[in-house]
Amino acid sequence: MYITRLSLGLALLLAACDTGGSHCDCVGGDEAGIKPLCEAPARINANAGPDEVVAALTALRDHTPVSVDFMSSADGGFSGDAGFAYAPGDGTVFFVSRQVSDSYQFGLPIDHYELKDAAFFDACLTEADLNKRFLCLFEITGAGLGRCGE
């Protein structure tokens, strides 16, 4: 019975996401980041290395559904700038970036933006300096489209 309810609830949520409602209908947030509610895109931890940064930038450029988390830190992750992006594959991105100290929590609100154009991502992908390539992840947003969870 629980599985039936869960399946019905998921089906109703997916139907709601397909009806053209608010841009916020398919995204939620908690301390771990942005939670896609209507799909389960690939998740990339860009801190894992240069290959993951390339994979994240490529997916964003190509409008492939993806969730990306990243953190720039000089002290082993205890403080710095942390970010999380969820791109549903339609040329937009839900984005959260926070300055953190000791630990971090994302939560709401989540901003919704257009992604920058392909030329931006191409320039990042050809950047020889691996740190500058990584920092491109903090600059992926274009025009603002709204805010979710205020």
pLDDT tens digits, one per residue of 63-109: 999 999 888 766 665 666 778 899 999 999 998 877 666 655 555 57
Is 70 exceeded by the pLDDT of residue 54?
yes
User: Which pLDDT band, with edges at 50, 70 and 90, does 33 fall under?
Assistant: low
User: Which pLDDT band, with edges at 50, 70 and 90, does 110 fall under?
Assistant: confident
User: Which pLDDT band, with edges at 50, 70 and 90, does 24 fall under?
Assistant: confident
User: Which pLDDT band, with edges at 50, 70 and 90, does 16 fall under?
Assistant: very low
> What's the rounded Cα separation, in Å, for the pair 109 and 34?
10
What are the residue ranges of helices labelled H in the chain?
A: 2-17, 50-61, 118-125, 130-135
Query: Going by C-beta distance under 8 Å and a sequence separation of 6 or more, which residues neighbour residue 90?
Result: 63
pLDDT digits (tens, 9 = 90+) for 121-145: 999 999 999 999 999 999 999 999 9
Q: Which two tokens stand for residue 71?
A: 């953190």
Going by C-alpha positions, the residue among 40, 146, 45, 59 that lies closest to residue 95 is: 146
- Per-residue pLDDT at 7: 32
| Amino acid (one-letter) located at 142 | G
Percent of the chain whose predicted confidence (pLDDT) is above 90: 43
136 vs 7, higher pLDDT: 136
Q: Any idea where the domains of the chain sit in the sequence?
A: 23-148
